[in-house]
Amino acid sequence: MIFRNKIILLTLVIIGLICLFCYLYFLGLANMWHVNTDDRPYFITTKPMIVKNIKLPIGTEIRYTKKWFWQDYILKEPLNEEDVESISLHSQHDYIDFLKTKKDVPVDSIGSYKYIEWAGVPVRSIYLSANKKHLVISPDFRKMSEDKKTKFSQIWQNCDKYAKPFGELYISLKNINDWSFNKENILDIYSCSSQTRGETIGAQYHNDKILDTLYQAMLEVKK
């Protein structure tokens, strides 16, 4: 009887190991085939809302941390705000056509589709850096009118002539859950396009000076 129970237990263990191996194998295949695909779950807003203290227009894509492989890729409802990793309005998504397919979105409200704004600058996306230490703001200065330009926006736009008009800004925050233009929460500007603090010994002084000037100009921007 004892021998029989051991055989059954051993069989269950072997079956469990085989199942685990198959799961890891197919998971590896999935990752291999989707190596360049962002498989994080996302939700597209169908009405204006506030996330991370940022006002989001209709048609904003919110990406969340993927916790489980069985999570839905396209979400019908937003998830926990603490799990938000990025908010964006990317050109590859035709949000207007998407919204026209949504029965719960009035047609006249589609006109409110505009852009996300940060420090008075139109931005395409805001997201956490890979190391989760910085917030990255990706601008679109093409959408900025002349009358709204500030000293801050002009320095930002000219950080790298090759990156215009999309030079990204990396900032350090006290509270990483507040992505708004809250000057009291912004500790420092770590990088502006190709200008990065202490990236090389020769360029360190030059870069730091530019970023310090940019930071001071940012403090002068009215909320």
- pLDDT means per 10 residues, the chain with 223 residues, are 64 72 57 56 88 90 81 80 87 50 51 73 92 91 90 90 77 95 95 76 69 94 85
> What does the pLDDT read at residue 209?
86
Q: Do 28 and 111 reside in the same domain of the chain?
A: no
Q: What is the pLDDT of residue 67?
A: 76
Q: In terms of domains, do 26 and 83 share one?
A: no
Same domain, 4 and 44: no
Number of folded domains that form the chain: 2
Distance between the two ends of the chain, CA-based, in angstroms? 78
What b/e sequence results for 51-65 when a residue is b if at least 16 CB atoms lie within 10 Å of its CB, and e otherwise? bbebebbbbbbbbbe
Q: Are residues 113 and 8 in the same domain?
A: no
Residues 112 and 140 in one domain: yes
Distances 132 to 82, 116, 177 between C-alpha atoms, Å? 13, 21, 11
Q: Does one domain contain both 78 and 159?
A: yes
Residues 67 and 82 in one domain: yes
Residues 86 and 160 in one domain: yes
One domain, residues 108 and 194: yes
| Bridge partners, residue 188, by sequence | 172
Do 8 and 66 reside in the same domain of the chain? no
**Residues 16 and 119 occupy one common structural domain:** no
Instruction: Report the pLDDT value the prediction gives residue 76, as an integer from 0 to 100.
Output: 84
Burial of 87 (0-12, 13-18, 19+ CB in 10 A): buried
Report pLDDT for 210.
Answer: 86
pLDDT of residue 71: 64
Do 120 and 146 lie in one domain? The reply is yes
Domain that holds residue 20: 1-37
pTM of the model: 0.71
Let me know: does 62 contact 33? Beta carbons within 8 Å.
no
Distance, in Å, from the CA atom of 175 to the CA atom of 43, rounded to the nearest integer, reads: 24
